[in-house]
Amino acid sequence: MEGAAVLKPPPPTPEPSSPPAMPSFQMAPSFRLVGLYLGTGITAFLALCALLVVCSPGLKGEFFQGRLLALTHLTVLGWVSMVIFGALFQLVPVVFEAPLYSERLAFAQYALFLPGLLGMVLSFWNFKLGVPLLASVSLTALAFLLFIVNLGVTLARAKSRSLTGLFIGTGLFYLALTATLGFFLALNLGFPYIVRRDHLDLLKIHAHWGMAGWVGMVIMGVALKLLPMFSLAHGFSTTPAKWAYGFSNAGLIGLALGWWTNPGGGVLKAGGVLLGLGAACYLYQVRLIHRSRLRRMPDLGMRYSIPAFSLVLVAAGLGLGLLFLNPREGWRDGAILTYVSVLLLGAFTFLIVGQLYKIVPFLVWFHTFSSQVGLKPVPLLKDLYDEKLGSRQFWLMSAGLPLLWADIFFNQEALRLAGSLGLALSAALFGWNMVHLFRWRFSHGDR
């Protein structure tokens, strides 16, 4: 009607971003494959904690010792990497909707990797650095090659590209670098002067490519997918994770160039700062995810994950202190051992234990009871393990590890034994819970 006010509809209210979609498990590999790797990794963790109690008086002085090298490789390869292998075999096909390229290749990898790992640990433990060590390293390197090919082809077949895939793919690249340099370091130990560089400087490059490159990149990529899924978080920016990716890679390049050309120079220190900035950016990314979560009460798995990221800051501070403060010889070795143990036994172990309390119960429930839903009563996820036991384990780890670190740093043997015992007891509770979980699967057969 002429002269009447024209009523316009109100502008549509912008819809919030939808929560992350739950993945489909049709592409998942067999439980037998994933369980084999996860179970072996958990067993390696139990063995590691028992050995820490046995040889805790020797955790002092120069870090280039046979038993310390044995424990470090048992941690990185037997505990951390074995669990990562199993988790990626499960996660990558599910998240990227591409079946694993070859389960047979994954089983062949295990057949090479386990004897190689055992041989390497025994060689370092007894400080036999000739042919036995080189043969063991060759087996693990070949196993790494099979893994890189298997995961690389699977990622290449993915229906979509994502930041998680970029982190995982970059982690595979650093795994190849770590394995290659590790092979030449083992060759140089048995047949000296093949690599005409300071062996300890090359060892530092090898360690950081393995810890921050291989393990760190994979953990950042996987956490970027799992943390939002488990906490029902959505609508957050991923820009900090992109900055973390750039800074971390620049830092690893700077550290490698610094140790290769001029240890103690400006390039090395710049690399350390950049790597620290990468860690800080990723921790800010975790904070954004945490703030946007819908599930407010942290469950058992998330309780372990929260201190893990805090310990990354502690490790970064120790690492930068070693680069810039250059502590006296008497303090330097203890600071290096503390830095490595905070990262491996603290940040990585807390995070992996927390995620295993999420992943293993779901895998057991899915492969055992999902087909029975609606046909008969089935247990809930929380019924598959003892959450109170897991809580006691958390407090034992939280009390034991600081004692262990304080003793390594200040060289107080009584504290070291108490810390090792606390960690061993917490590992025993963890092992009991994991055995109880796997028993549900074994007692109900395989499908």
Cα separation, 77 vs 215, in Å, equals 10
Cα separation, 443 vs 248, in Å, equals 45
> Hey, what are 147's tokens?
């893994």
Q: Is 270 exposed, middle or buried (0-12, 13-18, 19+ CB in 10 A)?
A: middle
Bridge partner residues of 233 (DSSP): 293
10 Å Cβ neighbour count for 252?
24
Secondary structure letter of residue 293 according to DSSP:
B
Cβ-contact 291, 250 below 8 angstroms? no
Cα separation, 421 vs 50, in Å, equals 8
Instruction: Report pLDDT for 277.
Output: 96
In the chain, domain spans:
25-160, 167-189+205-296, 318-367+382-442
How do residues 435-447 score in pLDDT, each as one tens digit?
Answer: 988 888 777 654 4
Residue ranges of the chain with pLDDT lower than 50?
A: 1-22, 446-447
Cα separation, 84 vs 41, in Å, equals 9
Cα separation, 443 vs 447, in Å, equals 12
Instruction: Report pLDDT for 336.
Output: 86
Cα separation, 73 vs 69, in Å, equals 6
| Residue 291 φ then ψ, to 5° | -70, -25
Cα separation, 213 vs 211, in Å, equals 6
Residues in contact with 181: Cβ distance below 8 Å, sequence separation at least 6, in sequence order: 202, 205, 206, 209
Cα separation, 233 vs 321, in Å, equals 35
233 three-class SS: strand
Instruction: Report pLDDT for 18.
Output: 40
Tell me which CATH code domain 25-160 carries.
1.20.120
Instruction: Report pLDDT for 197.
Output: 67
Cα separation, 269 vs 251, in Å, equals 9
In the numeric block, the tokens 């061993």 are attached to: 424
